[in-house]
Amino acid sequence: MGFLDVFKKKEKILTIAEAQEKMYTSLSEYTGWKYLKSQHCLRLRVANIVFDISFYSSKYNVSGERIEANCEFEFWNKQFDNICNVNSKIGFVFFRPENDYWYDISTETKLNAAIDDIKSKIDAYAFPLVKRFEDDYCGAMAYLSSDDMQELYQLNKLGIFEKMKSL
């Protein structure tokens, strides 16, 4: 048995509640966005645009064995509805590990790796878009009108973006 095998056996296995709480707290502190416990999301509002990072967990999670999670960055318009749904959702990007559906967050090491990956995705997809809306709403709309951004944020699938452009 090598050193790494001993380390792996000694690494603390987290409970579902521990892993999720650590992930939510870490990402809330990183983004500065408010954590809404009842909705399992981080939220920031800029005018009528609401930015959420919604968290999902596998129904097969078992404390001490398997804990899997992923999340989605989504943005929606309060002018169309008071909740994020088909009537208000503008766009979204799934935050998942490369070549997999779920992040494994069952140990401290795996959780920290997942958090780091999600932070890099927030840096790439969420922060730049939020900044654009904070600085210049019309400029942000023009930015989203490009074909690349339409595809990235899946704007054509939802139809709300077209309604927003007419406001």
pLDDT in tens, 47-58: 999 999 999 999
For residue 166, the number of C-alpha atoms closer than 13 Å in the C-beta half-sphere is 5
- Mean pLDDT on 128-139: 95
- Mean pLDDT on 63-77: 93
Query: Is a pLDDT exceeding 70 seen at residue 96?
Result: yes
Task: Please state the pTM of the whole predicted model.
Answer: 0.88
Distances (CA, A) of 98 to 44, 70, 117: 26, 12, 9
Residue 95 CA, distance from chain mean position = 6
Residue 161 CA, distance from chain mean position = 20
Q: For 107-131, how does the pLDDT look when each residue is reduced to its tens digit (9 = 90+)?
A: 999 999 999 999 999 999 999 999 9
| CB distance 43 to 54 below 8 Å | no
